[in-house]
Amino acid sequence: MVERLIAQLAHVEIITPKPERSAAFFRDILGLEESGRAGQSVYFRGWGEFFHHSLQLTEGPAPAVAHTGWRTEGPEELKACVSRLEAHGAGIGWQKPTMGHGAAYRFRSPGGHVHEVFWESDRYIAPAALAPSVPNRPQRYITRGAGARRIDHVTFNTDDPLRDARWFQDVLGFRLMEYAKLDHADVVVTAFVSSTPMSHDLGLVLDAVDRTGKLSGVKGRVNHVAFWVDTREDVLRTADLYRDAGLEVEYGPGKHGVGENLFLYVREPGGLRIELFQKPGFPRPRLHECDFAARKLGHPVRIGNERARRRADRWPPHLQRSAFPARISLCHQNLRRKPKPKCPRAIPGKV
């Protein structure tokens, strides 16, 4: 029997300097449902989510993720998480019950990011107008905007992705699913861990500020937060919604090699990068327990630098040059370059 402490990625708290515009983006363009307000925060959830919220949007001076919430498998698993976190010196302390869930224990991961674990959660109860006709859904299907069904994952920048991934594996029982390592140097640039059947619930990216590999030196930076939609057409349709709303698509639409999902990146009005994420089939196929154990014991898929460059993003291929992180200006430069001929033109009659 494989130990499982964390049940799911429950929520993220996003800081925005433009609260009204950001709230309008998540409600009207991404299609999330507003589930409450308290203080300087607005709470949202996808139409397919059973708990009170998966996004807490809070006013602040600059775009950031203030904390990430993980729901445990049960009360005993919560105690086990707290014990392990305290033993590793990562604990910040208990937080009082707040909107949507009970008491939570906060901690700081090696990359400087703040997380919390909790068990008690408020379930969403749909009003009569949104009562589902399908009993295994929390509410009626909403087609507003992108129609995001749920939160999918969060990806952070860190000075050592593999160290952080191993830490989540050893302390909280995550599985290390995949990682990318340079072929010419012993440097891991990305790592992906999961506590569920998904390809990853948490992504970790090397916090390099340029192509030389120079690190930012800043702890706790975020790369993006991702939300799931049901179909590939939703991804393509949302690209038009973004442009109509005056938002510049930063990266995509395209297809990742890691997870083999369709993606679309945009900056919400407050400045944080948001990914729209879709993969055929919902939910994604569940791993067999032997696979769960193998990944837990340290047998992730290793993607080399050359393979990462050529296949990590399967299409459109020219955008791969802009990865880590994406820079659309570089993509435009690449598109303007004319390809060099592979060999001289043959002249008839000459060998």
74-127 residue pLDDT tens: 999 999 999 999 999 999 999 999 999 999 999 999 999 999 999 999 999 999
- What tokens does 311 get? 């296949």
pLDDT at 250: 92
* Segment (H or E) for 84: helix 75-87
pTM: predicted TM-score of the whole model, two decimal places: 0.83
* Segment (H or E) for 54: none
Please give the residue that has the higher pLDDT: either 195 or 183: 195
pLDDT at 288: 34
Concatenating the DSSP letter of every residue in 226-286 gives EEE-S-HHHHHHHHHHHHHTTPPEEEEEEEESSTT-EEEEEE-TTS-EEEEEE-SSSSPPP
The count of C-alpha atoms lying within 13 angstroms of the C-alpha of 250, restricted to the half-sphere facing its C-beta, is 20
Residue 313: band (very low, low, confident or very high) from pLDDT cuts 50, 70, 90: low
Distances (CA, A) of 51 to 11, 46, 201, 226, 243: 10, 10, 17, 18, 31
End-to-end CA distance of the chain: 70
| Domain ranges (residues) in the chain | 6-139+147-333
Interval 110-124: pLDDT, tens: 999 999 999 999 999
What is 6-139+147-333's CATH topology? 2,3-Dihydroxybiphenyl 1,2-Dioxygenase; domain 1 (3.10.180)
Read off the DSSP letter of residue 296. Answer: H
pLDDT at 347: 41
